[in-house]
Amino acid sequence: MVETSIKAVFTGERVIPGQVDADLLNEHLARYAFAARLARGKRVLDAGCGAGYGAAELAQSANWVVGVDIAAEAVAFARAHYRLPYLAFEQASCTALPHPDAAFDLVVAFEVIEHLPLWRDFLLEVRRVLAPTGQFIVSTPNRLYYAESRSHAGANPFHAHEFEFEEFRSELSAIFPHISLFLENHVVGVAFRPVQAGGAGETTEVRVDGGETPPAESHFFVAVCAHRPQTGHPTFVYVPSAANVLRERETHIALLEGELRRKDDWLEEAKRDLADLDRQHRQLTAELEESNRWAGSLDRELAASGARVQELQEELGAAQAAAQATIAELDRENRTKSEWAAQLNAQLDAKLQELAQCVEYLHQAEKTVEERTRWAQKLNTEVEQLRRKLALLEASRWVRLGRRVGFAPGAGPQ
């Protein structure tokens, strides 16, 4: 029983029938068989009920039973697998029970208290919900025996506090005035069972030999606590239904031998796999060495390439600097030429304007020449006409006569 969330993988701390060793299951069932004798007709609380199989056992004789566990997975499992008319399961903490005072005649808590950091608070909660005439049955492993049995595995990570016998008695006595203590151990016995079951009056006789068992050597401590004095504390022996120990051991030995053969086969296969892995390892080692040599040559080539890259970068830097200087010089030349071109364009514009004016003057002179040419031509025409007239005149007889007498133009004294 664990006061923490149940894990999907079995850890040994959550007992589930069919998933654990038979001895471990019987160890837990025996406690519920021990408690069932005191549960008849009572209101029962199973604190830290886990998977619910123990609460179902108590419900066979109790008036009604409530199983409480903090793990939702455990409560869901219990509700799904144990459905009885007078049995209910609740998710709650054992240190904060959701029940009124004096609600139960019997409270059981098997393998719970060692899991609780606040285990004293738990004992006070049990005292609160327990009726004045009620009983509280609590069990826990013996710390000394448990530490010895787990010497190789180490401390149980699920346990918050483990008890020795005197500490267990002292802590319970501080809360409950009346305590009856029992020691739970696996024992070897021989059973005589009739082949045919007898009548209703058939009894079972149990003989327990030997002296008292030292608490320090016991496996578990079980205490029955109460507010009022209790009468009687008989020895209780639980014999599981499959209790032929020798037959079970023989079956278990056969299973172990089969498992050992499977492990031997697995070991031989593992040896073959290991040999194959060793060959592969040697091959991979040779390949790795070759790869390392190749990587070394690459490193050297890379170093040489790096040096060449550095040289090229330096050359590129110098070329870039020279190019920058050339670009600056060209830029200056371009600005000078641009200024010269602008001046030339201005001069050309002025010359063009001057040429345009000259052309205009030329056009005007041409017009004047044309006009004067026409005037000269006109004069020439008029002169020619006058000449013809003069010729006609000179040719006339009157003119000739006038010349003779001195009257005609051009006639002088004779």
Residue 233 lies in a domain: yes
pTM for this predicted structure? 0.58
Q: Name the phi and psi angles at 342, rounded to 5.
A: -65, -45
- With pLDDT > 90 as the criterion, what percentage of the chain qualifies? 34
Residue span of the structural domain in which 128 resides: 22-189+212-241
Residue 274 lies in a domain: no
Work out how many domains the chain is built from and give that number: 1
Residue 42 lies in a domain: yes
In this structure, are residues 218 and 145 in contact, taking their beta carbons and an 8 Å threshold?
yes
Residue 352 lies in a domain: no
Residue 351 lies in a domain: no
* Beta-bridge partners for 104: 130
- pLDDT, tens only, 254-267: 766 776 788 888 88
Residue 250 lies in a domain: no
Strands (E), 148-240: 178-184, 220-226
Strands (E), 99-199: 104-110, 130-141, 178-184
Residue 197 lies in a domain: no
Residue 341 lies in a domain: no
Can you tell me the mean pLDDT for 300-311?
Answer: 88
Lowest mean pLDDT among 157-166, 304-313, 356-365, 396-405: 396-405
Report the chain's mean pLDDT, rounded to a whole number. 84
CATH of the domain at 61: 3.40.50.150
